[in-house]
Structure 1
Amino acid sequence: MRKKYGASWALVTGSSSGIGKELARTLLGQGLDVILVARKEPLFDAARRELAAQFPRRSVVQVEANLSDASGAWMAAIEAAVGEKDVQVVFLNAGFILTGMFEQNAVQAHLSGVSA
């Protein structure tokens, strides 16, 4: 992205694990600085520490946000993190899954994307 498009900053949602974390790792490896966005959880803290240690010359910014909050209150934290940064690449990768049988999870968990 940096070489081909001149991008310098990227934002990746759902970056605490899985595909989002690997997208962030790939972008950092291409020389971009990255804003990580995910739910507040220990896994997210560990992902940021791991990526920052692997790419010490890159900026890795962590933004805790629950994107399932329909009020959009989380947007202020993202706006603050982006600030004046020229973010040219955005990967909207956030997702949440409830495992188990449907009836084993509370109705509110199904409606909000938050485990009970």
Structure 2
Amino acid sequence: MELINKTALVTGASGGIGEELARQLAERGAHLVLVARRADALERLRREILAAHPGREVTVIPADLAEADAGREVVDALRAAGRPVDLLVNNAGIGSHGAFAEQDPAAVARLIQLNITSLVDLTGRLLPGMLERGCGGVVNVASTAAFQPVPSMAVYAASKAFVLSFTEALWGETRGTGVRVLTLCPGATETAFFTNTGKEFLTRGRQTPAEVARTALNALDGHAPTAVSGLANRLSSAGYRFLPRAAMIRFSQDAVRATHAA
């Protein structure tokens, strides 16, 4: 996908995969709109990118996409700034770890709002303009957790399964329109995800955010609906389809079993 002088909006850009995607998009010539809760982190990244790439335009929109109606506020800010979006990267997300019956309902609602509702809302608000222009792209970040149920991460895995199904369906709907739609499925990655859950698990084989971002941008140049980052992750994601459902659930449960509190 051609990115020179195009505008890419990246949610969850204040750290981890989103921050690295922003850097690599800037390297490939894109202007940026950075969205996340932490305005200070976004401003730091904005200054860093402009220092490395003086010709880029970088707009910061602080927003908490775990709040209802945040997507509308982001799009209103885009319109006020006169910034049409050529590439939407829905990266913002949050995880949890623990038995569902012990989860705080308010925290579960925020997870669903962020991982599903705001992602769908932003896609629905920005995709029509891309289709009208006959060009653009949407990258929705799911997870390797999307390929199977995951006890102790039940709502998180289900939310990512939604993202995978939703985005692959959009890929089918937009074929031949000039709009590139992609699901990115990282495995365990060295980000604040694990710190935020308060648990330590999947400690081996984690990728770096830079590796995941490269997978996403390379996949944008292809045609497949889904990109799984990392060979081991691709093999395990494909292998799950051959397991009986009960065995799949037990295997995924063992894989994410917490070793100790962080």
Instruction: Tell me: CA distance 1:43–1:7, structure 2 relative to 1, closer, same or farther (3 Å).
Output: closer
Following TM superposition, by how much is the alpha carbon of 1:101 offset from its aligned partner in structure 2, in angstroms? 6.1
TM-score, with normalisation over the residues of structure 1?
Answer: 0.72
Instruction: Tell me: CA distance 1:7–1:86, structure 2 relative to 1, closer, same or farther (3 Å).
Output: farther
Please give the alpha-carbon distance, in whole angstroms, between the structure 1 residues aligned to 2:106 and 2:29: 41
Give runs of aligned pairs for residues 27-38 of structure 1, distance below 5 A. 27-38=25-36
Instruction: Tell me: CA distance 1:6–1:86, structure 2 relative to 1, closer, same or farther (3 Å).
Output: farther
- 2:65 pairs with 1:79: no
Q: What's the Cα RMSD here?
A: 2.8
- 2:59 pairs with 1:53: no
Please give the alpha-carbon distance, in whole angstroms, between the structure 1 residues aligned to 2:40 and 2:107: 20
Q: Is the 8 A contact 1:63 1:78 kept in 2?
A: no
Give the counterpart letter for 1:14 in structure 2.
G
SS at 2:86 equivalent: strand
Please give the alpha-carbon distance, in whole angstroms, between the structure 1 residues aligned to 2:86 and 2:11: 14
Please give the alpha-carbon distance, in whole angstroms, between the structure 2 residues aligned to 1:96 and 1:48: 23
SS at 2:44 equivalent: helix
Following TM superposition, by how much is the alpha carbon of 1:88 offset from its aligned partner in structure 2, in angstroms? 1.1
Give runs of aligned pairs for residues 104-115 of structure 1, distance below 5 A. 108-113=106-111
Give the counterpart letter for 2:47 in structure 1.
R
Give the counterpart letter for 2:76 in structure 1.
E
- After the TM superposition, which parts of structure 1 deviate over 4 Å for at least 4 consecutive aligned residues? 100-103
TM-score, with normalisation over the residues of structure 2?
Answer: 0.36
Instruction: Tell me: CA distance 1:44–1:97, structure 2 relative to 1, closer, same or farther (3 Å).
Output: farther
Give runs of aligned pairs for residues 39-50 of structure 1, distance below 5 A. 39-50=37-48
Q: Is the 8 A contact 1:7 1:89 kept in 2?
A: no
| Aligned equivalent of 1:96 | 94
Q: Is the 8 A contact 1:68 1:112 kept in 2?
A: yes
Following TM superposition, by how much is the alpha carbon of 1:67 offset from its aligned partner in structure 2, in angstroms? 0.4
Deviates more, 1:40-49 or 1:85-94: 40-49
Deviates more, 1:19-28 or 1:4-13: 4-13
| Aligned equivalent of 2:7 | 9
Instruction: Tell me: CA distance 1:85–1:42, structure 2 relative to 1, closer, same or farther (3 Å).
Output: closer
Q: Is the 8 A contact 1:17 1:47 kept in 2?
A: no
| Identical-pair percentage | 35
Give the counterpart letter for 1:58 in structure 2.
R
